[in-house]
Amino acid sequence: MLWRISMGWPAVYLHPRYFPALPLSTPPIIGPEALPALAERLRIAPPSRLFVLADANTARDCYPRLAAYLPAHELLTIAAGEEHKTLATCTEVWHWLTQHEADRHALLVCLGGGVVTDLGGFCAATYKRGLRCIGVPTTLLAQVDAAVGGKTGVDFQGFKNHIGVFQEPEAVFMEPAFLSTLPAGELRSGYAEVIKHALIADAAAFADLRGLAVAAVPDWTPIIRHSVAIKGQIVAQDPHESGPRKLLNFGHTVGHALESYLLAQPGRAVRHGEAVAAGLVCESWLAAQRGLLSAAELTQVREVVAAAFEPLGFAENEIGEIAAYARHDKKNQGDVIKCTLLQGIGHGIFDQAVTVADIEDSLRAYLTK
């Protein structure tokens, strides 16, 4: 039997082994009503001062639309890009808040993709031990993943998200119209997480993705709502990732290894979602090797990924070095690589021990199929 849980979130059916459900935080507001709802929230619960953090892209493409719903505020625009997700940028934000005498009743609105929402959330959580924070994610990746679940932080000395805290913003407002400002590759990057959510928790949602043309989706609102609901329900059961939240790492053991390896090769960096999409295929292959996924299901995963993503470019003689990156994954325990796999489409299983050799085999299968 599948359990239906909603408690304020759109209903999602999850397998009973991941229970009991815990109280959920406020669900994000998703759709054209998001920015008016943000304005209403600010009217009902006005902050002492209002601050908006954007990056160079969102300040240009999204801020004018947001600003129309905001009372008087200060804007800080940081440089765009993962390379600026650093403590140096945090210092810039903390300095700006200090200069403007922000107190703990001030509110920081983070307008951007994962870099802005992660970094801004971290700055808000730590400034004077915490000021109010609201997320307004503007990319598909941030809407379905980064801005949901309270992970905040920055990269440090080459390690992604190495410094950070779990801290939910007080609310999240998602305007899908912002997605029209994104390059196609950026949209696809977020789509990998949509596929992942369906694969780990919702076979019917995965069936809906078969035949979907990412570039031609007229309105992302229902897809975002459903994907966010899946993630929200999982996070609510395990906010600090000691159990079921690890399901969300499906595709990321191999995906992170590919992303890190290619980032270290000049001119070969790929988007997070491109690497995760390849990771979804590799880790589905591992599940199939263990008899957890049927050959037909593996083919379906390959087809849904191939409909949106070009094959990732790496060569047979790089596989050893790529797989070695999986040893450094945050999810591992000692020398054992802990991976999330699938037990059929729609049912993730976490804490599955895999070896570096398994990961190498999955990368080899990816190249040959």
Q: Which residues bind ligand GLY (CB under 6 A)?
A: 145, 149, 151, 245, 248
Compute the distance between CA of residue 67 and CA of residue 63 in angstroms, rounded to an integer: 6
DSSP per-residue string spanning 11-39: PEEE-GGGPPP----PPPEESTTHHHHHH
Task: Between 237 and 300, name the residue whose CB sits nearer to ligand GLY.
Answer: 237
Task: Between 102 and 119, name the residue whose CB sits nearer to ligand GLY.
Answer: 119
Q: CA-based Rg of the chain, rounded to a whole angstrom?
A: 20
Interior CA angle at 180 toward 175 and 182, to 5°?
A: 105
Backbone φ/ψ region at 250: left (φ over 0), alpha (ψ -120 to 50), beta? beta
Task: Between 198 and 248, name the residue whose CB sits nearer to ligand GLY.
Answer: 248
Compute the distance between CA of residue 99 and CA of residue 109 in angstroms, rounded to an integer: 17
Amino acid in the structure at residue 346:
G
Beta-strand relationship, 337-342 and 348-354: antiparallel
Task: Between 102 and 147, name the residue whose CB sits nearer to ligand GLY.
Answer: 147
Residue 1 contacts by C-beta under 8 Å, 6 or more apart in sequence?
16
* Shortest distance in whole angstroms from residue 151 CB to ligand GLY: 5
Residue 239 tokens read as 């906010």
Q: Where are the alpha helices (DSSP H) in the chain?
A: 34-44, 56-61, 63-67, 87-99, 114-126, 140-141, 184-201, 203-209, 221-237, 252-263, 272-289, 295-308, 319-325, 356-368
* Shortest distance in whole angstroms from residue 150 CB to ligand GLY: 8
* Shortest distance in whole angstroms from residue 145 CB to ligand GLY: 5
Residue nearest ligand GLY, CB atom distance: 248
* Shortest distance in whole angstroms from residue 162 CB to ligand GLY: 15
DSSP per-residue string spanning 253-304: HHHHHHHHHHHTSTT----HHHHHHHHHHHHHHHHHHTTSS-HHHHHHHHHH
Task: Between 150 and 311, name the residue whose CB sits nearer to ligand GLY.
Answer: 150
Residue 71 contacts by C-beta under 8 Å, 6 or more apart in sequence?
42, 46, 50
* Shortest distance in whole angstroms from residue 335 CB to ligand GLY: 23
* Shortest distance in whole angstroms from residue 322 CB to ligand GLY: 21
Task: Between 77 and 332, name the residue whose CB sits nearer to ligand GLY.
Answer: 332
* Shortest distance in whole angstroms from residue 146 CB to ligand GLY: 7
Is residue 301 within 8 Å of 345, Cβ to Cβ?
A: yes
Compute the distance between CA of residue 59 and CA of residue 133 in angstroms, rounded to an integer: 18
Task: Between 84 and 245, name the residue whose CB sits nearer to ligand GLY.
Answer: 245
* Shortest distance in whole angstroms from residue 243 CB to ligand GLY: 12
Q: Which residues pair with 19 in a beta bridge?
A: none
* Shortest distance in whole angstroms from residue 365 CB to ligand GLY: 25
Task: Between 144 and 323, name the residue whose CB sits nearer to ligand GLY.
Answer: 144
Task: Between 149 and 176, name the residue whose CB sits nearer to ligand GLY.
Answer: 149
* Shortest distance in whole angstroms from residue 209 CB to ligand GLY: 19
Task: Between 276 and 319, name the residue whose CB sits nearer to ligand GLY.
Answer: 276
**Burial of residue 354 (number of CB atoms within 10 Å: 0-12, 13-18, 19+):** buried
